[in-house]
């Protein structure tokens, strides 16, 4: 098989972060370089300096300041979209129109329900769409899901999610997706939320709130409770089961690892230290991205499902957008959402 030609839209700045991966585009690029059968050929950014720095880091990559020109000239099989969320629909549709076979989009997948549906409709049966909720490949998230599947403490009644700081749209989508990953095949049916905008700001072109509270109800009666605000120190998922609780406290940067534990009738268990943090790049600069890229390639070649198929991200996006719609209307919102449901801009 010839190597798949990969390209990145939104290569980002060369600014080292705590994860050691500069921008997200660099993480995608390293995943491509670490994956046999894929050849990273091009990257695009509106900022010429970003393009120059990126091409200096990854030899042999052609740089562009116009992503449409890149798509036309390079004709990539696989396109990663790492630009800011408000631009992702237009870029995704352009990549699909150019004939890409694999679309790998950063979270949040879209800023409106209609945008997500238009992307999937345009992809049809000719392109596989994946959303980068790469933490589904983290060992602590796999452990958390396994505890709920095995039901040693009985069925799940409620899952509590805590997001530290303001701006839920930053890391919040990952936590909602982790909750959906743990809950398996359950389907969200309704949401209700409240939002405090008093000290919000702007993140990647999206308006952010000070704090947020919400509920999501699932088809089997399970409830997801979401809280976001500065009073929380670190992200946490807690499953309240019939006979006990299962907890996943995600490690702050100064900790040796996340805390995974289960306690209740007949069980008191702390999971082993997995040797990896939930941040991209703490213990291995590209750990989760490498696993995600490998799964995308496997899934595409085999035709089998992937952990990060876009359908999963759409379920999480619907919950998040539903919370904001509920806060705006002051009432419970039934799912599915209308196409008009959107993040604040």
Q: What is the DSSP string of 210-262?
A: SEEEEEEEETTS-EEEEEEETT-SS-EEEEEETTEEEEEEPPPTTSSS-EEEE
pLDDT tens digits for 164-181? 988 899 899 999 999 999
At 140 the pLDDT is 86
C-alpha to C-alpha distances, 279 to 22, 181, 257, 258, nearest whole angstrom: 13, 18, 10, 10
At 158 the pLDDT is 98
Which two tokens mark 125?
């049966």
Q: For the chain, give the mean pLDDT.
A: 91
Q: For residues 130 and 272, which has the higher predicted lDDT (pLDDT)? A: 130
Nearest 5°: phi and psi at 188?
Answer: -70, 140
At 15 the pLDDT is 76
At 19 the pLDDT is 45
Which domains, ranges and CATH numbers included, belong to the chain?
4-134+286-307 (3.40.50.720), 137-278+315-329 (3.30.360.10)
**18 has a pLDDT exceeding 90:** no
Which two tokens mark 323?
């919370």
Q: What is the mean pLDDT of residues 108-136?
A: 96
Q: What is the mean pLDDT of residues 263-292?
A: 74
**332 has a pLDDT exceeding 60:** yes
**276 has a pLDDT exceeding 60:** yes
**333 has a pLDDT exceeding 90:** yes
Q: For residues 103 and 167, which has the higher predicted lDDT (pLDDT)? A: 103
Give residue 260's pLDDT band: very low, low, confident or very high (50, 70, 90). Answer: confident
Q: What are residue 249's DSSP bridge partners?
A: 236, 259
Give residue 279's pLDDT band: very low, low, confident or very high (50, 70, 90). Answer: low
At 14 the pLDDT is 86
Q: What is the mean pLDDT of residues 33-42?
A: 96
At 294 the pLDDT is 97
């Amino acid at each position: 098989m010839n190597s798949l030609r990969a390209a990145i839209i939104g290569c980002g700045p060369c600014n080292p972060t705590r994860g050691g991966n500069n921008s997200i585009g660099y993480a995608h690029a390293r995943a491509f370089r670490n994956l046999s059968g894929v050849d990273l050929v091009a990257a695009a950014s509106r900022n010429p300096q970003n393009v120059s720095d990126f091409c200096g880091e990854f030899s042999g990559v052609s740089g562009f300041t116009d992503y449409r020109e890149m798509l036309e000239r390079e004709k990539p099989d696989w396109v990663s979209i790492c630009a800011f969320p408000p631009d992702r629909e237009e870029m995704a549709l352009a990549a699909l129109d150019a004939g890409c076979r694999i679309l790998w989009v950063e979270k949040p997948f879209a800023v409106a329900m209609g945008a997500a549906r238009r992307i999937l409709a345009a992809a049809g049966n000719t392109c596989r769409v994946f959303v980068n909720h790469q933490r589904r490949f983290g060992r602590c998230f796999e452990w958390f899901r396994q505890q709920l599947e095995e039901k040693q403490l009985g069925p799940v009644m409620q899952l509590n999610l805590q997001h530290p700081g303001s701006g839920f749209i930053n890391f919040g989508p990952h936590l909602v997706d982790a909750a959906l990953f743990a809950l398996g095949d359950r389907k969200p049916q309704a949401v209700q939320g409240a939002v405090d905008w008093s000290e919000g700001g702007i993140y990647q072109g999206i308006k952010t709130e000070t704090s947020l509270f919400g509920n999501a109800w699932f088809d089997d009666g399970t409830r997801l409770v979401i809280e976001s605000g500065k009073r929380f120190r670190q992200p946490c998922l807690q499953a309240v089961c019939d006979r006990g609780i299962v907890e996943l406290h995600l490690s702050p940067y100064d900790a040796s690892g996340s805390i995974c534990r289960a306690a209740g009738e007949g069980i008191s268990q702390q999971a082993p230290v997995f040797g990896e943090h939930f941040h991209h790049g703490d213990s291995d600069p590209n750990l989760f991205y490498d696993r995600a890229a490998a799964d995308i390639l496997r899934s595409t070649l085999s035709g089998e499902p992937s952990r990060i198929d876009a359908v999963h991200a759409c379920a999480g996006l619907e919950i998040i957008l539903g919370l904001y719609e509920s806060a705006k209307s002051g009432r419970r919102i039934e799912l599915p959402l209308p196409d008009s449901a959107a993040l604040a801009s």
